[in-house]
């Protein structure tokens, strides 16, 4: 018999908050983390906006010795993991550690160190790079550091499926517990790719948003007629997942139950999204949750603000939800925190879980004139409070056609 999986701890460091409370308060207030980048390379960019973690100083969290072996994305993962573990009040015995694991998503791992190495070798003709370059850049470094920090001796998993990386990391962690392979999983994602080279590469792809002429914070406009693309962000989100009976026995605070998850591949194009593939993921997640479309009371959309992406996601929601599509609130929190790439699925699932927990729906900001082809209820500009929510969905649709959908519902111990 499949076991139930609940969420007992949350942790986040993001462009709009360095802990879950600050993050969700800013979401509900419509505060935006998108700004003009203040870096030494910003003037060399055509697109100079991003969503960095504001006021972050690694020395506030780590010793100098520790920092020599942990890249920025690993630092973010450890900060979010510590918050989640403390929030869950989780203390594991030696007997329990082999049944506790880690599952983290990241697109590029240590992008900053990789770029520094290229500069040293190819630009400065330096024959040497940092001795720990391999350990700093590898995608699984974040998961390994988290595993070591908390002596989690079960599965140590890393997923890299572009924008759906951390949604899949959370979903597969859920399956680990559901199917009896683990009892506890620390799951989420981390990304730190606001570097010169990465920004130039995204510029070349022509998917980045143009800077709003009046206000950089208004540049990301999901579902709006005048949207022009995505805004890159950075940060990490981590969730403690736990087998439900164990969580109840120890008196844990339970935010929600993960009710359903599934993934799909468009299998059609490396960059162009496809509503049919997205629809399959939505329907499969509903089937896993044993739910009907009308059971879902809020959708946190992938909503990147790209011209094609928002239309295809709207089509997918309509195809999966039928008439109910027009009755379920849908919002894109990327309008505020930007697109955290490999971390974005976990960030947005956390936003959905907190919406469920607080009976409050965050808005899609910068939405003043909707695209006629995007005609659902996108919660424009103002969040909604005191809304009865029993189940929520989070969509993550990636380059490469990798789709993932997560569903959470209120936990009932009966």
CATH code assigned at 28: 3.40.47.10
Same domain, 89 and 196: yes
Same domain, 132 and 272: no
pLDDT for 2 equals 87
State the chain's mean pLDDT as an integer.
97
Backbone angles phi, psi at 70, to 5 degrees: -130, 120
Distances (CA, A) of 126 to 71, 118, 300: 21, 10, 47
pLDDT for 289 equals 98
- 31 CB-near residues (< 8 Å, 6+ apart): 16, 336
State how far the Cα of 131 lies from the Cα of 109, in Å rounded to an integer: 17
State how far the Cα of 150 lies from the Cα of 90, in Å rounded to an integer: 10
Same domain, 364 and 245: no
The H or E element containing residue 167 is helix 165-178
Rg (CA), the chain: 20
Same domain, 228 and 351: no
pLDDT for 127 equals 84
Same domain, 237 and 278: no
Of 249, 270, 294, the residue that ends a domain is 249
Q: Residues 97, 10, 231, 374: is their CA dihedral positive or negative?
A: positive
- 305 CB-near residues (< 8 Å, 6+ apart): 209, 220, 221, 222, 223, 224, 227, 228, 229, 230, 231, 332, 334, 335
Same domain, 216 and 105: yes
Within a domain: 255: no
Angle between helices 196-205 and 111-118 (to 10 degrees): 100
Backbone angles phi, psi at 206, to 5 degrees: 60, 40
Within a domain: 254: no
* 295: number of Cβ within 10 Å: 17
163, 220, 297, 337: the catalytic one is: 163
Is 163 an annotated catalytic residue? yes
Within a domain: 243: yes
* 56: number of Cβ within 10 Å: 18
Same domain, 201 and 109: yes
Same domain, 236 and 284: no
Is 339 an annotated catalytic residue? yes
pLDDT for 386 equals 97
Ranges of the chain with pLDDT below 50: none
Same domain, 86 and 155: yes
| Structural domain boundaries enclosing 346 | 260-409
pLDDT for 27 equals 98
Domains: count for the chain: 2
* 262: number of Cβ within 10 Å: 21
Same domain, 171 and 53: yes
State how far the Cα of 331 lies from the Cα of 342, in Å rounded to an integer: 20
State how far the Cα of 158 lies from the Cα of 143, in Å rounded to an integer: 7
Judge whether 404 and 263 are in contact, CB under 8 Å. yes
302, 337, 357, 374: the catalytic one is: 302
Q: Residues 191, 156, 402, 336: is their CA dihedral positive or negative?
A: negative
b/e 163-178 (16+ beta carbons within 10 angstroms → b):
bbbbbbbbbbbbbbbb
Is 324 an annotated catalytic residue? no
Same domain, 272 and 394: yes
């Amino acid at each position: 018999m499949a076991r139930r999986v609940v969420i007992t701890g949350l942790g986040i460091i993001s462009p709009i908050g360095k802990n879950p409370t600050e993050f969700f308060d800013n979401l509900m207030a419509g505060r935006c983390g998108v700004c003009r980048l203040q870096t030494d390379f910003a003037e060399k960019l055509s697109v100079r906006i991003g969503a960095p973690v504001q006021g972050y100083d690694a020395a506030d969290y780590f010793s100098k010795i520790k920092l020599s072996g942990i890249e920025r994305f690993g630092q973010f993962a450890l900060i979010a993991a510590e918050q989640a573990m403390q929030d869950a009040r989780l203390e594991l015995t030696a007997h329990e550690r082999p049944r506790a694991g880690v599952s983290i998503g990241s697109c590029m791992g240590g992008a900053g160190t990789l770029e520094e190495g290229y500069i040293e070798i190819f630009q400065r003709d330096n024959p040497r790079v940092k001795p720990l370059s391999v350990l700093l850049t590898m995608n699984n470094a974040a998961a390994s550091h988290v595993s070591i920090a908390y002596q989690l001796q079960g599965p140590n998993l890393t997923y890299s499926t572009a924008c759906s990386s951390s949604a899949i990391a959370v979903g597969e962690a859920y399956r680990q517990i559901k199917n009896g392979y683990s009892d506890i999983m620390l799951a989420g994602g981390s990304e730190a790719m606001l570097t010169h080279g990465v920004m130039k590469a995204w510029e070349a792809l022509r998917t980045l948003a143009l800077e709003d002429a009046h206000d950089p914070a208004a540049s990301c406009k999901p579902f709006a007629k005048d949207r022009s693309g995505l805004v890159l962000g950075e940060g990490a989100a981590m969730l403690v997942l736990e087998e439900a009976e164990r969580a109840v026995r120890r008196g844990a605070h339970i935010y929600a139950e993960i009710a359903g998850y599934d993934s799909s591949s468009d299998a059609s194009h490396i960059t162009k999204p496809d509503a049919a593939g997205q629809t399959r993921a939505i329907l499969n997640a509903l089937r896993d949750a044993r739910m009907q479309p009308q059971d879902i009371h809020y959708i946190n959309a992938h909503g990147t603000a790209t011209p094609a992406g928002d239309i295809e996601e709207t089509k997918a929601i309509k195809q999966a939800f039928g008439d109910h599509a027009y009755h379920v609130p849908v919002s894109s929190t990327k309008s505020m925190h930007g697109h955290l790439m490999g971390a974005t699925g976990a960030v947005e699932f956390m936003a959905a879980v907190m919406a469920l927990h607080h009976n409050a729906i965050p808005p899609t900001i910068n939405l003043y004139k909707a695209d006629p082809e995007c005609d659902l209820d996108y919660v424009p500009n103002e969040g909604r409070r005191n809304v009865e929510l029993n189940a929520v969905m989070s969509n993550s649709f990636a380059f490469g056609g990798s789709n993932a959908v997560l569903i959470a519902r209120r936990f009932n111990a009966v």
